[in-house]
Amino acid sequence: MRMSQTTTATDATMSSVPMDGSAKLAEYARTKAQRKRRERAIEMVLLLAACVSVFTTAGIVYILVKESLVFFAEVPLWTFLTDTQWTPLFSDAHFGIMVLMAGTVSSSLVALSIAIPLGTIIAIYLSEFAGHKTREILKPILELLSGVPTIIYGYFALLFVTPLLQKIYPDLPGFNVLSAGIVMGIMIIPYVSSLSEDAMRAVPMSLREGSYAMGATRFQTAVNVVVPAAFSGIASAYILGISRAVGETMILAVAAGMQPNLSLNPLEPAATITSYIVQVALGDLPHGSVGYQTIFAAGLSLLVLTLCFNLLGHWLRRRFREVY
């Protein structure tokens, strides 16, 4: 009797062990399934966010191409690319996009001649020479420049920079590309300096230490080691600055004069692609007219120009990327 009771207790104990193990396995399976469902839901949300950006870009391209085809049905593409006048709102209409391209390139060159050197120098200082406290103070102040509304920059160029330049160049007109380009360059500096500094700080410390061990100074290390190693990121910062300069609107609309002029002289007034689009969009032209459709053709030209810069930046990143 006692042996049968002992056997029964042992069997009960042995049978309870597999039950506890199966319960744990079932609980683990449920937890794993829930985790997979959550991960899949997160993946779907991320995919949806990516699709939104892709569909938005595709929609912009579709609208520009569709409306531009209406324009090119009236104006030959060759005339659009080669005509040397831009007077689409006059009775004697001319549609030479090179006039607006000249103003866009001129203003961008002035801006980049200021933003790229100063932005690179600031990035080298913040990355290699500035102390932690100095960096924490200067970088937020510098990035405040990118938060100022561009319309404020436009009136700053018109009412402060232009009179200042007229003291040096008395014949400088009130509306000119030079003052607008200078202020654009000041506005773009935070984009160039911030991204360039991030690229430089990503360079491994071992490269710097190796340079110091060879007897190089901090300046020699920064210029000859850190900058070449971070060049792919610095090039991306330059391309972003170029795209920002090409797409700027309000500074040029306020300070550059919006006068179509086929010239690269920054001392003269000029119209850019973006300022022309603003001028026509705020006017009274009827939708569907050739004059109104020019804004889509000009926008498509700007999109192609920006795409070329982005492709150039992608090529530079792949060509000069360093793997550590």
Q: Which of 73, 91, 126 is the last residue of a domain?
A: 73
Rounded CA gap, 228 and 223, in Å? 8
Same domain, 129 and 184: yes
181 shares its domain with 226: yes
Give the integer Cα–Cα distance in Å for 180 and 173: 12
- Return the higher-pLDDT residue of 283 and 211: 211
Which of 80, 254, 79, 120 minimizes the C-alpha distance to 184?
Answer: 254
Question: Is 61 in the same domain as 102?
Answer: no
In the predicted structure, residue 7 carries a pLDDT above the cut 60: no
Give the pair of three-digit tokens for residue 88: 């689409």
Provide the number of structural domains found in the chain.
Answer: 2
Of the chain, the percentage scoring pLDDT greater than 70 comes to 92
User: What's the pTM value of the predicted model, to 2 decimals?
Assistant: 0.81
Per-residue pLDDT tens over the stretch 254-307: 898 888 888 888 989 988 998 888 888 777 777 778 888 888 999 999 999 888
What is the C-alpha separation between 78 and 47, in angstroms, rounded?
Answer: 41
**Dist. CA 181–CA 112, nearest whole Å:** 8
pLDDT-derived band at 323 (thresholds 50, 70, 90) equals low
Please give the DSSP secondary-structure letter assigned to residue 165: H
* Whether residues 62 and 81 fall in one domain: no
CA distance 236 to 240: 6
63 and 177 both lie in a single domain: no
User: Are residues 183 and 256 located together in one domain of the fold?
Assistant: yes
For 270, phi then psi, to 5°, come to: -160, 165
Helix ranges (H only) for the chain are: 2-72, 77-82, 97-124, 132-143, 150-156, 162-168, 177-201, 205-213, 218-221, 227-229, 231-246, 250-255, 273-281, 290-320
Residue 74 contacts residue 290 (beta carbons within 8 Å): yes
- Segment 28-53 shows an average pLDDT of 87
Q: Which two tokens stand for residue 239?
A: 């391309």
Based on the fold, state whether residues 208 and 286 are members of the same structural domain.
yes
Q: Output the pLDDT for position 280.
A: 84
Q: Does 39 share its domain with 131?
A: no
Q: Which domain holds residue 212?
A: 77-320
- Considering 51, 73, 95, which residue would you say is the last residue of a domain? 73
Residue 183 pLDDT class (50, 70, 90 cuts): very high
At 324 the pLDDT is 61
User: What is the C-alpha separation between 226 and 206, in angstroms, rounded?
Assistant: 11
CATH code of 296's domain? 1.10.3720.10
Same-domain check for residues 67 and 99: no
pLDDT in tens, 73-112: 888 889 888 888 888 878 788 888 999 999 999 999 999 9
- Is the pLDDT at 223 greater than 70? The verdict is yes
Give residue 163's pLDDT: 93
Q: Give residue 322's pLDDT.
A: 65
Which of the residue ranges 1-5, 27-31, 144-148 has the most confident prediction, judged by mean pLDDT? 144-148
184 with 269, same domain: the answer is yes
Domain shared by 39 and 114, yes or no: no
Same domain, 84 and 215: yes
Is the confidence at residue 10, as pLDDT, over 50? no
Does residue 13 have a pLDDT over 70? no
